[in-house]
Structure 1
Amino acid sequence: MVQAYILVQTEVGKAAAVATQIGDIPGVVSAEDVTGPYDVIVRAEAADVDQLGQLVVAKVQGTPGITRTLTCPIVHLT
């Protein structure tokens, strides 16, 4: 299982709607609208890196109102 945080910038006034739409995408664990340099923070998971990439590119980035995303895969350092 691969997990990542996806930091999302949206058009002005679109954060809540974008978070709601992204929250309905399979593989998205949570999508919260926040304040700061990013408007929405998403936690997503997939079976492998390829599926995670497909989730981000095909589904999340295709959501209307998004201007930019930054994907941060979760690593477990031991």
Structure 2
Amino acid sequence: MVEAYVLVTSAIGKVKEVAEKLQDLENVENVRVVTGPFDVVVLAKAKDLSTLTNTVVEGIRRIDGVVNTDTAIVVE
């Protein structure tokens, strides 16, 4: 199992909409709207790195209103 925190920056006025769409994605365990340099923090869990990568690239980054992502893979 591979886990990662995906830090999402959304377009202005789209934070709630983005957060709702993120919750519907496969391999997304938790979604939190936060303050600071990022708008949403996502905990993603997948069976392997390839599946996790696909979740970020083909899932999260394709959501309308997602401007940028930074992914921190859990190592310990």
TM-score range, shorter chain: over 0.9
Unmatched tracts of structure 2, length 5 or more? none
Greater C-alpha Rg:
1
Alpha-carbon shift at residue 30 of structure 1 (Å) = 0.7
1:52 corresponding residue in structure 2? 52
- Cα distance, 1:59 vs structure 2: 0.5
Q: Does the residue aligned with 2:62 lie in a helix, a strand or coil?
A: coil
> Among the aligned pairs, what percent are the same residue?
38
Alpha-carbon distance between aligned partners in 1 of 2:70 and 2:30, rounded to the nearest angstrom: 16
Measure how far apart 1:13 and its partner are.
Answer: 1.2
Superposition CA RMSD, Å: 0.6
Structure 1 moving runs of 4+ over 3 Å: none
TM-score by length of 2: 0.97
TM-score by length of 1: 0.95
Residue-pair matches, total: 76
